[in-house]
């Protein structure tokens, strides 16, 4: 397929992944393994001859630092960067910061699995005075309070991400501009679901590896075709 390239990538392993936490919008950095995964991804994209016109990522440091490692590996550290809360990980509400095994011990395997992967299942909401409420974080001060999540399902994450695809990413791709998007596991599920036309059942079972570029081709008509992981 002639035209632009879109590369979607989940950040490298985070400290939250390493500790088996519900991380969500909790702003944890990459683990030592995650830093290396990100550097390796940048070198891999360069070896495959990928070049980009702009880069996009979330407002969370594990995605930002992954992007910077990738840009160094690509020898494109000067590339324009765009950060958006719409590319943030799913907000896990009151589960954020909790260890998954401890949560299973408290609520049971079935309930926790529903919170994690149920397409429309919403975890318990975070309280307004919690440090995990995005309204208490200055980086989100310009976002209307009504738009800030207190907890999200996978379906809600898809609705949050879709406008960014439609209004920001797709117009650039149609103009032939290739884009690198570094984001999070649930946002990857949402984007892949939208681009590949997956059902809710297919979407909630997607496994997204850390630090692994997924390449799409996009033509001038906006037709998107998955070309696979590098």
Q: Which residues are annotated as a binding site?
A: 10-17, 23-24, 62, 89-92, 116-117
Radius of gyration of the chain from Cα atoms?
A: 17
d(CA 117, CA 172): 31
Examine the residue annotation and report whether 11 is marked as an active-site residue of this protein: yes
Question: Measuring CA to CA, which residue among 87, 83, 56, 90 is closest to residue 70?
Answer: 56
Q: At which residue do the structure tokens 């590319």 appear?
A: 87
Which 8-state DSSP code applies to residue 77? T
State the catalytic residue, choosing from 11, 69, 132, 133: 11
Examine the residue annotation and report whether 18 is marked as an active-site residue of this protein: no
- In terms of Cβ atoms closer than 10 Å to its own Cβ (0-12, 13-18, 19+), residue 196 is middle
Report the phi/psi class of residue 225: left, alpha or beta, with left for phi > 0 and alpha for psi in -120 to 50.
Answer: beta
Which neighbouring-strand residues pair with 6?
Answer: 179, 216
State the catalytic residue, choosing from 68, 69, 89, 133: 89
Which neighbouring-strand residues pair with 56?
Answer: 82, 181
Question: Please, what's the b/e burial string for 88-108 (b: 16 or more CB within 10 A of its CB; e: otherwise)?
Answer: bbbbbbbbbbbeeeebeeeee
Known binding residues for substrate are 10-17, 23-24, 62, 89-92, 116-117
Contact status, residue 152 vs residue 90, Cβ threshold 8 Å: yes
By annotation, the residues acting in catalysis are 11, 89
């Amino acid at each position: 397929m002639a035209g632009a390239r879109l590369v979607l990538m989940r950040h490298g392993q985070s400290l939250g992944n390493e500790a088996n936490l519900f991380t969500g919008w909790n702003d944890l950095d990459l683990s030592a393994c995650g830093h290396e995964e990100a550097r390796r991804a940048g070198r891999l994209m360069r070896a495959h001859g990928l070049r980009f016109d702009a880069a996009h990522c979330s407002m969370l440091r594990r995605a930002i630092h992954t992007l910077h490692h990738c840009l160094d590996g690509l020898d494109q550290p000067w590339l324009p960067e765009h950060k958006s809360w719409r590319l943030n990980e799913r907000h896990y509400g009151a589960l954020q910061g909790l260890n998954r095994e401890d949560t299973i011990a408290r609520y049971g395997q079935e309930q926790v699995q529903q919170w994690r992967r149920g397409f429309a299942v919403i975890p318990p909401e975070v309280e307004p005075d919690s440090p995990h409420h995005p309204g208490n974080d200055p980086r989100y001060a310009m976002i209307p309070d009504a738009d800030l999540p207190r907890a999200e399902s996978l379906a809600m994450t898809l609705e949050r991400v879709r406008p960014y695809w439609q209004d920001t990413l797709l117009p650039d791709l149609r103009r032939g501009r290739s884009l690198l998007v570094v984001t999070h596991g649930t946002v990857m599920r949402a984007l892949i679901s939208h681009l590949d036309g997956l059902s809710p059942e297919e979407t909630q079972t997607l496994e997204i590896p850390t630090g692994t570029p997924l390449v799409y081709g996009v033509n001038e008509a906006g037709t998107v075709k998955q070309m696979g992981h590098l």
